[in-house]
Every structure is written in C-alpha cells, then in structure tokens.
Amino acid sequence: MSDHSVSAPEIPARLAAQGVRGDIAPADASSDIFFAAVRTTRMPMVVTDPHRPDNPIIFCNDAFSFMTGYSQDEILGYNCRFLQGPETDRTVVGELRAAIAKREEVSVEMLNYRKNGSTFWNALYVSPVFGDDGELRYFFASQLDISRRREAEEALHEAQRMEAVGKLTGGIAHDFNNLLQVIQGYADILDARIDASDRSARRAVDAISTSASRAATLTQQLLAFARKQELRDRLMNLNQLLGDFRPILDRSIGSGITLKRDLATDLWNCRVDPVQAEMALLNIIANARDALDGTGEITITTRNAVLPEDGGVARLEPGEYVVLSIRDNGPGIDPGTVDKIFEPFFTTKEMGKGAGLGLAMVYGFVRQSGGLATVRNLSGGGAEFSLYFPRASGAVERKTAGPIAPHAGGAERVLMVEDQREVGELGRTILEDLGYDVVLVNSARAALDTLRQDAEFRLLFTDILMPGGMNGVTLAQSVRRDYPHTAVLLTTGFADEAIDEGSRSFELIRKPYRRNELNDRIRAVLDKPGART
C-alpha cells in the first residue's frame, strides 16, 4: 500500500476513541452504526488525515492490522508507504499519489509487504471524504488481499503461453521426425552397402548418422515439452526407481559433489514412464551439478502431499500427489530467469554447452503424466526442483526382464501403411532389404481394401497419425478383430489424441527408427510366444 484512499460516509466521532485527535463531526445514530460496521468488518480499512504532515493514518480497523501484521501503535500516525518494498511498482505508486494530490478517487492493485517481510497483492480503492461545506476532511481507503487471485491469473497466463509454445514445437517436431526418418534410414542403407575398405565413404555415412541421431534426440525433447510423446507408464514407486538408478546418478555428479537422499518410507505409488522419469531426473541433476561448479551438495527427497491442504500448488487439481524434489546448495537461479527456466531453447549456459531442451522435456513429461514441475530459489541459497505425480493405487509391477536373443530377418509378408511418400518408400526399401515381402499403401482405408482382397499378411506395420478419418490405432483394432492371424506393429513421430488407451495393447516403434531396431522389433512381435500364426 502507499498514500491511498477509498470512498465512505462521513467519519464518525467515535474515531477519537481509536486515538484520533482534532476536530471531528459529532456522532449520531447513523454514525454509530457505520462505525460499528467499519470496526468489525473483515475488509481492511484505514482513514488518513491530509491536513497533517505526510497524510498519516489516524484510524485502522482490526482487519487491516491482521492483514499487515502490524499493531495499532505501529500503524497510527504513519504514512501508508511503510507497506511498500523493493518490488512495489513505482508507476502504480505514482498513479496513487497523483490521484490523492488531485483529491480524486482511484483504484489500483499493488504489491505490499507485511511486517514479517512476506508480500501480498493489495487491491486498493481510495476516495476523498468531504464535509457538508465541501471541504476535504479525510481520505478513506478499503483494501483486499487478492494474492490468490493474482497467482491464479498468472498461472493461467503461464499455462496458456506454455501451451501455445507446446503446440508450435509439437508440430515442428512431428515434421522433423519424418525428415529424420528418411535421413537416418538411407544412411543405414548406405552403411550396409559401402565396402569396408572405403574408409572415406564410411566416415561420411557415420557423420550423417551421428548428426541425425543427435537431431532425433533434440526432436524427442521437443515432443516431451509439447506433451506429444507416447508414454509407456506403469505403476511404480519412485523410491524403487531411485534405488535402481542410483549407480548412474552417482557417476553423473562427479567426485566433488555429494549426493544425499531423504526418501519417505511410506511413499505412495504413482503411474510414470520409468525411462522418461530417469531422463528427467538426469536433466535436473545435470543442471544442479553445473550450478555447483564441481563442489557442493545435491539432495533428493520424496514425500507424499495432499493438495490444497498441503499448501496448494497453482495449476494442480486438489488431490493426493507423490513429490520428488532435487535441491542443491549452489548460488540459485537468477530471479529474472526463474519464470523462463522450462521454456524450450532457453538456456543460461555458454554456446555449445546446452540446447535449452532438457528442462523443457522435464516439464512436458510431468505435465503429460498428470502432474507439474516447479522450481524455486531457497532462502538459504540454492534451488529446488519439485516434480508432482498423481497418486495411483494398485500393486507395483515387478521386473521380469531377461536377456533377449538377437533376431534374424524373415520372409514374412508385411502390409505397410504410411501417408508420407518418402517415409513409406524408405520403409519398404528397408523391409525388402531385410527379406520381407512388402505391400505399401498410404491410408487406413486402402489397407482395409487390400486385406479384403488378400488377407495373407503376417504383419500390419502402420503409422498412427494419418489423414482420411481413420488413424493407425483404429486400423489396428479393426485388423485385430477381423484378421486375428495378422500381428500389428505401430509407429509414430509423436502421440496425440490418436494415441489413446487402445494403443497400449499394441507394440510401438518410435520414429525415427533404425534399420536393425525395426527388424528386432518386428521379430519380437512375430516370434514371441503365443504370437498369431
């Protein structure tokens, strides 16, 4: 607050009982009622006297004292500017002063400070109070703590901005994946056909393949931020994930940094994609390690949280959450960059040391999992990242993984569905090189027409996102129902509404895929025990 005011009736004589001195109009029945209302209302109110030096407060009700944390003795006789602080907008203060100087009503919202140093957003409505003779007597101000409303508005604005950026990056990443599929796929084909003695050609192909792989990684991070990747989540306990991942985390932080753990023994379960969760954890740990510059301490904690009873987090629905936090004792994050920390391509690192996609991937992954990623500077120094995941019920799945034998190619018939011509031609070339008999069509409808005429296909290999009203998931479900002898393998450059719960019953390979990776996945589908024959 600052030099301020709000409209009201004539101030009653009972103000004198609050320590007010000077000439005040005599009290009557109506003023008694008004005074009782002002004194007991929950809306903070003050009266200032413009005839005294510095326009001091001469009356405040209990609600104002409660809101600010100051006692009556610390309020009366002082100008309202004692509630201002370093982050109070000076433009708003100037607007308030100008209105008071002109004896006009004014309504503003400004950041004020309580006695304990905490901030709150104050909605002020200030008005001059004139006597029957038309002379200015007082300024009357009512105010309201609107911090929760401002936080909600800022959270909504931030969510809308991030959503807009996410749609843009998601669309770009989808197109990039198709381009990278062609680049990487033909690089693999060239690699298989180049003579081992042609070292110059092999170096060139290796360089193409390496660059395409790096571009694919960046694209995947963009998709993660845009929440358009397909998550293979499962029910798990984050404490178990941290235990299994501990050796990798220990190696990633360096010898001069201590990694501590403070894990809740009664931690709830949640549904997450373990691979994406590990990548998110590595990205945050890497940022903390760089902030510490080789020396310091990183602490990983887990806990259960009930929102909003646990304090509430903007943009999260009330409910039960599992919280994974990573904090360091470094210098913290520049306050000017905290709000941008999760944006794609935003980085404070030197050129060549970061693309600014790691934390963007973290944000997108957690949001797609139904939670939220937050960051804050700690009062004692350092920063803390917190990942909120919704609580899930059920028994945690146990690992049953064993060694997987390498697969050789086969001669089975494959029906491939791909609407992008270059990607389709590449896929057919790869599959034919591997020995498969391939029929390529460009839509789900064309695939069904083909199957009606010739149903002897061992595998349907289809893209998910396709024009024409039927996507790959719907096609796969139709094939499973009508052609049960045909196995299904899905592929996609990202996930959207087209990838729903129905897709989880099918195997999936993500674009851009490699030649050997595609063959291994096909053999895994066709050769697994109980596969359709």
Residues of the chain within CATH 3.30.450.20 domain(s) are 13-145
Higher pLDDT, 479 or 211: 479
Whether the per-residue pLDDT at 479 is higher than 90: the answer is yes
Q: Is 1.10.3470 the CATH number for 151-225?
A: no
pLDDT at 218 over 70: no
User: 234-392 adopts what CATH topology?
Assistant: Heat Shock Protein 90 (3.30.565)
Q: Looking at domain 13-145, which CATH architecture does it have? A: 2-Layer Sandwich (3.30)
Q: What stretch(es) of the chain map to CATH 3.30.565.10?
A: 234-392
Cβ atoms 149, 123 nearer than 8 A: no
Count of C-beta atoms within a 10 Å radius of residue 91? 10
Distances (CA, A) of 235 to 47, 322, 389: 59, 12, 12
pLDDT (average), residues 68-88? 91
- Distance from C-alpha of 65 to C-alpha of 60, rounded to nearest angstrom: 7
Q: What pLDDT is stored for residue 385 in this prediction? A: 93
Q: Residue 3's pLDDT band (boundaries 50, 70, 90)?
A: very low
Please state the rounded mean pLDDT for residues 347-363.
59
Work out the number of other CB atoms within 10 angstroms of the CB of residue 475.
24
Per-residue pLDDT band for 107 (boundaries 50, 70, 90) equals very high
pLDDT of residue 454 exceeding 70: yes
Average predicted confidence (pLDDT) for the chain? 80
Helix (H) or strand (E) holding 383: strand 383-392
Q: How confident is the model at residue 228 (pLDDT cuts 50, 70, 90)?
A: low
The per-residue pLDDT for 154 is 74
Q: Tell whether the model's pLDDT for residue 336 goes beyond 70.
A: yes
3-state helix, strand, coil in the chain (%, to 5): 40, 20, 35
Residues of the chain with CATH 1.10.287: 151-225
Higher pLDDT, 154 or 453: 453
pLDDT at 14 over 70: no
Residue 422 exposure: Cα atoms within 13 Å on the Cβ side: 13
Pull the structure tokens for residue 66.
Answer: 């409660």
List the end-to-end C-alpha distance of the chain, in Å, as a whole number.
Answer: 77
Give the pLDDT band of residue 311 (cuts 50, 70, 90). low
CATH 3.40.50.2300, the chain: domain bounds = 413-527
The CATH code of the domain at 413-527 is 3.40.50.2300
Report the 10 Å Cβ neighbour count for 412.
17
* Per-residue confidence band for 481, with pLDDT thresholds at 50, 70 and 90: very high
In a 10 Å sphere around its CB, with 0-12 CB exposed, 13-18 middle and 19+ buried, how is residue 453 labelled? exposed
Section 240-247 average pLDDT: 87
